[in-house]
Each structure stands twice: as C-alpha cells, then as structure tokens.
Structure 1
Amino acid sequence: MRVTMFIGVAGAALALAACGDNPGKGAAGSDAVLLIDGSSTVYPISEALGEEFQKTSGTRVTVGLSGTGGGFKKLCRGEVDIAGASRPIKSEEAKACAEAGIEFIELPVALDALAVVISPQNAFADCMTVGELKTLWEPGAQGKVSNWNQIRPGFPSRAVKLFGAGTDSGTFDYFTKAINGEEGASRGDYTATEDDNVTINGVSGDPDALGYLGLAYLTENAGKVKAVKIRQADGSCVGPSAETARNASYQPLSRPLFYYVSKTSADQRPHVAAFVKFAFDATHAEPLVSEVGYVPLPAQAYPLAVAKFDARKTGSFFDGGSKVGVTAEDLVADAAQK
C-alpha cells in the first residue's frame, strides 16, 4: 500500500508547488503541473491516482497535505487546481472563494469509515457507545474526564491518553459533529496532529491510549492498532470497514470524501480536466481507491460525477457543513441533480 510514502512525497510536493505562482505551471512555466492539496485523509487517494496519471499523461502531479481547511484556503487563493477534503466546504470558506472570484466543482471521490483506535493490548474497550465517546471528547471533559473508569465504571482506573486530528482537519470537524453534535466542539487537551502516523505511533504502544483517524491508516497499520466498534441503535456493535462504510451500517462515523476542483483550472488547463476524467473512470478509481484502504463510489456515481464536471456545475450540495449519515446513494443523487 502507498500510505506510508506520504511524508517524503508530500514534502517534495510542497517544495515543487512553491516554485511558481501559477497553478498548472512548472518552475520554468512550460511543463504541465497539476497541484492538489488539502486533507491528509484524502492524500493517499490523490497520491495513488496522481502517480498512475503521471505515467501516461506527461503531467507532473504534486500532492500536499495542509489539512482540509488549509486546502480550501489555497483553493480560494487560486494556488491549487484541486482541494482534497474530508468534509464539505463551510459557508465561510465558500464565501472566501466567492469574494476571490473562485468557483469550484464539488465531487465525491470516495467513502470512508472514520475509525476510533486503541492499542492491541487494550482488552476492555472493544465496543463503545456514542455517548461514551462524547463523555470523553466533549469540551466539558477537559480537565475533568481523565481516567477510563470515568467513561464506564467497568473500565480500569487508569489515565487515558488521547490522540486526534488537528483543528484545521476535516476529520476533526466531522468527528466533533458526529460525536459531540457540533463541528469544532472538542476538549483541547489531547495530542492534535495533521499527521495520522503520529496517532498510530502514539496509540500502538500505549494500552491506555485512544485516537481517531481515517480507515486507510487503520488498514495500513493492521496489527499496530485495532478499531473500537460503535454500538448502534439496534444494540449491535459495528466496526469500521469498506463493507460497513458502503452499506452505511457503521454510524455515525461513515462519511464521504471530496475533490473540490477550481472551475478556472478546469476551463483553462486541459491536464486538469484530463485528470478528473482519469480519476472518475471506475477502471482506474476502484482498484486504486481500494488499494489505499478506502471505499470506491458506487459504479453508477462515476459517470454522473464526470457529467457534473463537464457541465461545470459549481457550488456545494451541503448547507455549509458536514451532514452525518450521508450514504453512497445520497452522493449519486447529488451528482445527478447538480
């Protein structure tokens, strides 16, 4: 799998992206360069698709990971062609793009199951409720909820160490919305990072640690960490997987992932349009998205996404923020009606 490559590649990507002021141009202003930035969760998808696209297109693809919020800032400044996002664009971000004269095309690129992870040495937190996770992560827990037995009486009286996404991350926004009921509402006394490998390393060696991250990093690090199952409304305990993300049985932490394509780039840079056609061709997308540990869209969604792109239908389907419980069918409907 390709996830482990991202630290070095991203550094090179960011350095290359800084070589010129115009998206789509190399350092000399002649070679076609596709600039993608944003979510660390979406990063492995972009890295895999970009690597394959480079082989046949003659276009250099650079991929950065400044976080979902950072990617939107770059998109709205006209610095990148595509922003990868693990949540929908917020109202204030869309407003910033509009004020800068930047229109965007919102395309679902994959499905994800956001995983709550613990060490394999943890034998007691196999299944937790949303309420228990809220007890642990809500803003009021800071400085008050510090031991496992404060979450559930049967848990040991030992200090819990927390890891999670940084505040500029779409994963942070989605997790806080799904668990605490409000985007951005979270305790602050945890190890916050845009690098999911920090969470993997921190959780794997500590039986009393807990964190959250995207499915690809769980899949890539099988054996180092294990997923906590989430108790559903019917009483069943369901874990994150490609199957449970696709059938939406893993709630409330199943979510879509996105590409936001600059309309200017789409109109003026043929290699950007060529990449979108490549990325939304199921023969390329399905194996590559699966390879890096995420869930491909339903087959019927790919041509609908291409049609939406070809029509240059801009704006967001969402009302300025994340929606919990969005299914693959919802994404297909979005592509169809936009």
Structure 2
Amino acid sequence: MKSKLLFLATAILFLIVLAACGNTEESKGTEEDSQNVNAESDGPEVVVDGSSTVFPIMEAVAEEYQKENPDARVNIGTSGSGGGFEKFAAGETHISNASRPIKDEEKASLEEAGIDYTEFEIALDGLSIVVNKENDWVDKLTVKELNKMWSSYGDVTTWADVREGWPEEEIQFYSPGADSGTFDYFSEVVLGEEGEIRQDASLSEDDNVLVQGVTGSKNGIGYFGYAYYAENKEQLKAVPIVNDSGEAVAPDQETVQSGEYNPFSRPLFVYVKHSALENEAVYNFTEYALKNAGAMSESVGYVGKPDSAYEEALQELDSIAGK
C-alpha cells in the first residue's frame, strides 16, 4: 500500500513539474513574439494612416513604388486626419496624411510623446460640393446658403427652404465623419468656429460611402475631395460655388490651381516622423513620394504643385535625414 502511495505521489509531482515547464515555455514564446512585433516596427514595412482625401495620392504612389521595389511593403490606412494624428502620436505610424494643417492640441500630443516631425505639402484639392446627377435645379450655391443648409441651427428641410422656386423635396445630407480633415475644413469655412453640423446628416469616414449616398438619392447633397468627384463624374454634379469675387465657379484643376475656386481650394499634407527616417525603408518611400507626388496627384484627379516646391521638399527631407 505504501509503495502505491509513493508511486502516486511521485506521478503527481512529475505532472506538476511538467506543467510548470510548459508554462515557462509558453511565457518565453509570448515574450519572443512581443520582441518580434517590436522589431517589425523597425523593419521594411512603411506604415501610413490618416486622411481619406490624401489616400488616393498615397495609394497611387505606393503602387508604383512597390512595382519598382517588389520587396517593399507599404500599409496605408484611412482613419481620417484626426484619427491619423492620434496613431502618429501613439507611435503606430511613420507618416500621417492630412487634408488640413495639424491642430495645436495635436502638436501638443506629439510634443508630449517626444515625436519630432516635418509637414510636407504634396498637392492641392478643390473640396467639392456635389448633388445627384438628376438634380436639375441647383445651378450654384453661396457659402451663406451652405451655412443655412448644413447648420444645426438652421431650419432647412427641403430644397424650397434654401431658395424660392426649388422643389419641396426633403434633402438628404452626406458628410465625412468628425475625424476627417475635410469635415474640419468644411465646418470652419461654412459653419465657423462656433457652428455645428446638423444632426440628421449621414456621416462616414469612407468617401466612397458618401459617393454612394448621393448617387443613390435624387435629393442628396454631400462634400468630399475633388478626386472622388472626378472619379464619379457620370453619376454626380459638382455645384459651382460663388467665390469672393461674386463669380460662380466649379472645381477643376485650373480653378483649384489659380485659387479661383475659393474658399474651397486647399492644400493637402503628409507629416513625416524624423526618427522614422533612420529606417531606410521609410526614407526611400518618402523620397519617392515627394519626387512623384505631383504626377500621382494629377493622375488621381488632384492638382500638383510646381516642380520647384517638390525640389525644396526633397532638400529638406535630406537635411532631416542627414543625407
């Protein structure tokens, strides 16, 4: 009986030791996995996030870059200008795309995180106010009318509320989400610092969802970057906007470049983390982006800047990277 008890105790002790070893190996494996994840942040993948407006440009750049560099990996997200800056400050990205300049509170977050960065202006955009192709009554809009339509304090429900003679049809509103730089820009220009967008507007960070909303509704109106309008011209109508000279001007490459399409002509940006440029993959991609941003911008429907502007940006990049 004693021998059986001794055998049983020995077996239990062996199982306990075996389980402990297994846990140790599992912990060791988890630690190694964590180290691998951290190591990958300094690896060949370039991580970019931010504005959905800038996305078509950087997507085009990345596609061409990866054709020329088959081993390169570029991951581009579209969490909006604000969402992109949050990830940038959290150390999750190397480059942040934005359709508006960085805000003071975002600068403070980056400073607190000890992140140095440089802003590069890569293209120009004409924020486009669009209606359904079947809409045959809207010939132009003023900023004052846009304010009346989009403000949460306005009393606009139908087109007839905007202008006498327009149909008494209920308007459907489509807007980028609150994390979007396009939302911020439109709100600042149309609603002012204290204004708020109407509560019944359908919001999305995905501009393609907004395109689908307006194309699917005869009484829809929305706004987004010019490239998304240019890609869907057969289904949408860009509304001419009365500028500061009193002229109704539609967005196109010429009116955006000249500034005639105001107040909705605007620059587009990328923000590059200085420490990330120590990674050769990030430096090479950024250099390629600045060399080709003009051509890529125009290929997807935006407006490129003068060649001299990109040459200056490349010199600044090399200075930051110590090249």
TM-score where L is the length of structure 2: 0.84
> Does the aligned pair in 2 maintain the 1:163–1:203 contact within 8 Å?
yes
The whole-number CA distance in structure 2 between the counterparts of 1:135 and 1:93 is 30
Q: Structure 1 residue 235: deviation in Å?
A: 2.6
Q: Structure 1 residue 197: deviation in Å?
A: 1.2
The whole-number CA distance in structure 2 between the counterparts of 1:61 and 1:108 is 20
* Pair 1:295 & 2:303 matched: yes
Q: Which amino acid aligns with 2:285?
A: F
Q: Structure 1 residue 67: deviation in Å?
A: 0.8
When residues 42 and 20 of structure 1 are mapped into structure 2, their CA distance, relative to the original with a 3 A threshold, is farther
Q: Structure 1 residue 182: deviation in Å?
A: 2.2
The whole-number CA distance in structure 2 between the counterparts of 1:133 and 1:149 is 14
Which of these residues, 29, 39, 60, is aligned with residue 51 of structure 2?
Answer: 39
Cα deviation digits, residues 167-226 of structure 1 (max 9, x gap): 010000000111112287322220000111111111112221100010010011111111
Alignment of 1:1-338 (within 5 A): 20-21=37-38, 24-25=41-42, 31-57=43-69, 58-141=71-154, 144-182=155-193, 185-266=196-277, 268-281=278-291, 284-312=292-320
Q: Structure 1 residue 287: deviation in Å?
A: 2.5
Structure 2: unaligned runs, 5 residues or longer: 1-35
When residues 221 and 126 of structure 1 are mapped into structure 2, their CA distance, relative to the original with a 3 A threshold, is same
SS of the counterpart of 1:35?
A: strand
> Does the aligned pair in 1 maintain the 2:124–2:256 contact within 8 Å?
yes
When residues 157 and 21 of structure 1 are mapped into structure 2, their CA distance, relative to the original with a 3 A threshold, is farther
Comparing 269-278 with 108-117, greater Cα deviation is found at 269-278
Q: Which amino acid aligns with 1:236?
A: E
Q: Which amino acid aligns with 1:161?
A: Q
When residues 91 and 23 of structure 1 are mapped into structure 2, their CA distance, relative to the original with a 3 A threshold, is farther
The whole-number CA distance in structure 1 between the counterparts of 2:294 and 2:91 is 29
The whole-number CA distance in structure 2 between the counterparts of 1:302 and 1:184 is 36
Provide the alpha-carbon RMSD of the alignment.
Answer: 1.7
When residues 23 and 234 of structure 1 are mapped into structure 2, their CA distance, relative to the original with a 3 A threshold, is farther
SS of the counterpart of 1:126?
A: coil
> Does the aligned pair in 1 maintain the 2:81–2:97 contact within 8 Å?
yes
SS of the counterpart of 1:98?
A: helix
Cα deviation digits, residues 237-267 of structure 1 (max 9, x gap): 101111111111001011011000011101x
Q: Which amino acid aligns with 1:306?
A: L
Q: Structure 1 residue 103: deviation in Å?
A: 1.1
Q: Structure 1 residue 50: deviation in Å?
A: 0.8
Q: Which amino acid aligns with 1:126?
A: D
TM-score where L is the length of structure 1: 0.81
> Does the aligned pair in 1 maintain the 2:122–2:294 contact within 8 Å?
no
When residues 119 and 32 of structure 1 are mapped into structure 2, their CA distance, relative to the original with a 3 A threshold, is same
The whole-number CA distance in structure 2 between the counterparts of 1:250 and 1:183 is 25
Q: Which amino acid aligns with 2:137?
A: F
When residues 24 and 298 of structure 1 are mapped into structure 2, their CA distance, relative to the original with a 3 A threshold, is farther
Q: Structure 1 residue 309: deviation in Å?
A: 2.2
Comparing 178-187 with 239-248, greater Cα deviation is found at 178-187
Cα deviation digits, residues 11-65 of structure 1 (max 9, x gap): xxxxxxxx9446744xxxxx50110001111111111101111122332111111
Q: Structure 1 residue 139: deviation in Å?
A: 2.7
> Does the aligned pair in 2 maintain the 1:102–1:262 contact within 8 Å?
yes
The whole-number CA distance in structure 2 between the counterparts of 1:253 and 1:309 is 29
Q: Which amino acid aligns with 1:290?
A: E
